[in-house]
Amino acid sequence: MSSKQNRHPFVVAKSVAMKKLENFFAEQPPRKIEMVRARLHQLTRRDVLLFGAGAVAALAGGGFLLPRETLNRLGVRRSMDSPGKEWFLNRALRIDDDVAEALYSANRRVPTYTKSQITPLKNNYNGATPDPGYISGWNLILDGLASGLSVSLDIRNLTSRFSLQEQITRLVCVEGWSAVAWWAGLRFDDLIRAYSPVSQAKWALVESSVNLDAYGNPDPYFMSLDLATARHPQTLLATHFNGQPLTVDHGAPLRLLVPVKLGLKNVKAITRISYFAEEPRDYWAERGYSRYDGI
Amino acid sequence: MPPAKQTKSTSTVPQRQHVLVVKRHHLLVRWSHWLNVPILLGLVLSGISIYWSSPVYQHKPDPTTGNFDVAADIGIWLCAHVPGLHRYSDSPDWIYNHLSLGPGMLALALRLHWLCAYSFMVNGMVYVAGLLLGGGWRSLLPRRTDLFDALRMFRYYIGFPFAKLLRRKWRHPRFNTKYNALQRAAYFSVPVAGCLSVATGWAIHKPMQLHWLAAILGGYNAARVWHFWLLWIYIVFLVPHLILVLADGWDTLRSMIVGWSTRLEPPAVIAHEQ
């Protein structure tokens, strides 16, 4: 016995370790427990009742949270909308916004692509496309500056004063589709350096006064952007698309290109940028979407 | 209390007062299992509502209807061919009206989807904790003989209704583990699918900050396709899961509610030895 062990000390040691490992992973036979029948019945009754209460709570929760249209289709005619529901769903949205902020890094660049990877980009104006008449008299107004003045710039001021940066990045829509597009424009950061905002400013409000609703009526677009994102090296005030000056479909003559945010933050035909210390209003956040839209 | 009665009940029928049971599922496993029902339902319904706004599967717009969504085509086909649906007014929306929260409610569907998605991730951690604390993870691990055994089980399930119809004996394959190989494969793959759903979900949700994750999954668009098809794994799992649990009887269902079972051996062993 001992001589055998001496001859194969390695093999024996290995097999013991293997056995231990196998035992660790092996399914163990269930342990049989003896219980008083009455006690078992009592526990069963408790758990089944608890389960039933949970099922009722889940149904009530569904009734509380589901959209009115869904409930109507299910035959629930009574309006279940309440401030509590809005508050609760907004909480969930806030948590997601906080996660987006936590994930954001000013140093992280978004992926860039080559010209062969470019995909078509549709005109996704939410309403009607504005009449190009506005372009000839277009000016960009800057407000909330440290100088206390309001500045007006035309497109020649912008393109001649600032160097243009090219980038091919993906634009991602909240609906789920995306497009890889080739842009050129000045860096938002360069504009901020040239016209510094008031010292306590943390937010930019980017507006387009030429935006229209689906019926062609004026529907000014306004969008909040935190200054950290505005200063990201890939955040552009784009003037060119596919090597050509922007067309009216893509927000001529100047649009925001902020690839770390959803497409709806990429305001077309910007007419005004104002700086604020407090978070300004946001067109889509007021319509039930997230406020930060960080991706 | 009369002494005679007490003596009778303890000495002559002791087996009636005591019962042998085995622990089947840990408390946390049971809680997370049942919480998954509303959470997954919410994810699926809101997910298909989100899908409506930009379908993964599209074709060139139809010249007459302008429709480009394959899911809408299915609804149109159903309403044209299924008796009773002929008068359905919104045939392109049939799928979305019946399998989702509804069309045209992206903002609401997204909010519900995030709410359910965060709940799903927390619930998944509760499930893993329950598996570890109760030691149940060992019963889910694949075995070397699983492929062959799974085929035997599959043959058994397929043949079972025919054998019943022909009143012929149809023996349940023998096994002495908590789950048979087919169950093991199912109960192992569904949590894996859950992890993949979460990973593809994050890749779609944060394709810039988590662009490495989207890249692993083949890019943003591929991650969307994965995320869509993973949904069908739950549905493909759910149908036989429900049928088999109900067919197996109260003890199995009860064990997921209260945790214990009075079946001390795997059912097949008992059936075989009778």
Question: Would you call B54 and A289 a contact, using CB atoms and an 8 Å cutoff?
Answer: no
pLDDT at B222 over 90: yes
What distance in Å separates the CA atoms of residue B222 and residue B208, rounded to the nearest whole number?
15
For residue A96, how many other CB atoms are within 10 A of its CB? 21
Question: Would you call A92 and B114 a contact, using CB atoms and an 8 Å cutoff?
Answer: yes
| B4-50: pLDDT as tens digits | 444 444 444 455 788 899 999 999 999 999 999 999 999 999 999 99
Residue percentage of chain A with pLDDT more than 70 = 95
A107-287: CATH class: alpha beta
Give residue B245's pLDDT: 92
Give residue B120's pLDDT: 97
Give residue B9's pLDDT: 43
Range of the domain at B265: 3-24+136-273
Contacts of B107 in chain A (CB under 8 A): 287-289
B75 domain-assigned:
no
* Nearest by Cα to A158 from A254, A234, A244: A254
pTM of the predicted model as reported, rounded to 2 decimal places? 0.88
**A–B CB contacts, 8 A cutoff, strictly below:** 147
What distance in Å separates the CA atoms of residue A179 and residue B18, rounded to the nearest whole number?
68
Peptide bond between residue A253 and the one before it cis (omega within 30 degrees of 0) = yes
Pairwise pLDDT comparison (A62 vs B28), residue with the higher score: B28
Contacts of B37 in chain A (CB under 8 A): 58
B50 domain-assigned:
no
Q: What are the structure tokens assigned to A159, written together?
A: 């393109």
Tell me A264's DSSP state. G
Assembly ipTM: 0.89
pLDDT at A69 over 90: no
pLDDT at A125 over 90: yes
B209 shares contact with chain A (CB less than 8 Å)? yes
Mean predicted confidence (pLDDT) in A82-108: 88
Best-predicted range by mean pLDDT (A36-40, A285-289, B118-122, B176-180): B118-122
Question: Would you call B101 and A110 a contact, using CB atoms and an 8 Å cutoff?
Answer: no
Question: Would you call B22 and A70 a contact, using CB atoms and an 8 Å cutoff?
Answer: no
Give residue A31's pLDDT: 84
Mean predicted confidence (pLDDT) in A264-283: 97
The angle formed by the CA atoms of residues B77, B79 and B83, to the nearest 5 degrees, is 115
Q: How far is A1 from chain B (nearest CA, A)?
A: 33
Question: Would you call B115 and A89 a contact, using CB atoms and an 8 Å cutoff?
Answer: yes
Q: Which of B115, B141, B207 sits opposite A172 (nearest CB)?
A: B207
Mutating which of A50, A80, A96, A107 best tests the B interface, going by the most B Cβ atoms within 10 A? Answer: A96
DSSP string, chain B: --HHHHHIIIII-HHHHEEEEEE-S-HHHHHHHHHHHHHHHHHHHHHHHHHHHS-SSB-SPPTTT---BHHHHHHHHHHHHSTT-TT-TTGGGHHHHHHSS-SS-HHHHHHHHHHHHHHHHHHHHHHHHHHHHHTTHHHHS--TTHHHHHHHHHHHHHHHHHHHHTT---PPPP--SSS-HHHHHHHHHHHHHHHHHHHHHHHHHSTTTTHHHHHHTTSHHHHHHHHHHHHHHHHHHHHHHHHHHHHH-HHHHHHHHHSEES--S-HHHHHHH-
Residue of A nearest to B110 (CA): A289
B55 domain-assigned:
no
Q: Which of B17, B101, B114 sits opposite A96 (nearest CB)?
A: B114
| A146-195: pLDDT as tens digits | 999 999 999 999 999 999 999 999 999 999 999 999 999 999 999 999 99
For residue A5, how many other CB atoms are within 10 A of its CB? 11
Give residue A5's pLDDT: 47
Q: How far is A54 from chain B (nearest CA, A)?
A: 9
The angle formed by the CA atoms of residues A127, A257 and A274, to the nearest 5 degrees, is 80
B237 shares contact with chain A (CB less than 8 Å)? no
Mean predicted confidence (pLDDT) in A203-230: 96
B269 domain-assigned:
yes
Mutating which of A70, A262, A265 best tests the B interface, going by the most B Cβ atoms within 10 A? Answer: A70
Contacts of A58 in chain B (CB under 8 A): 37-38
- Measure CA A156 to chain center: 33
Give residue A162's pLDDT: 97
- For the beta sheet containing B260-261, the strands, ordered from the edge strand earlier in sequence to the opposite edge, are A32-36, B18-23, B260-261
Q: How far is A147 from chain B (nearest CA, A)?
A: 35
Question: Would you call B258 and A294 a contact, using CB atoms and an 8 Å cutoff?
Answer: no
Mean predicted confidence (pLDDT) in B163-181: 85
How many independent structural domains does chain B possess? 1
Give residue B15's pLDDT: 58
Residue percentage of chain A with pLDDT more than 90 = 73
Contacts of B32 in chain A (CB under 8 A): none
| Residues paired with A241 in a beta bridge | A183, A244
pLDDT at A37 over 60: yes
Contacts of A93 in chain B (CB under 8 A): 111, 114
The residue extents of the domains of chain A are: 37-101, 107-287
Residue B274 pLDDT class (50, 70, 90 cuts):
very low
What distance in Å separates the CA atoms of residue A271 and residue B72, rounded to the nearest whole number?
39
Pairwise pLDDT comparison (A72 vs B219), residue with the higher score: B219
Q: What residues of chain B, 57 to 96, have a C-beta less than 8 Å from chain A?
A: none
Give residue B34's pLDDT: 96
Question: Would you call B102 and A70 a contact, using CB atoms and an 8 Å cutoff?
Answer: yes
Furthest CA-CA distance within chain A: 102
Q: How far is A137 from chain B (nearest CA, A)?
A: 36
Contacts of A31 in chain B (CB under 8 A): 22-23
Tell me A87's DSSP state. H
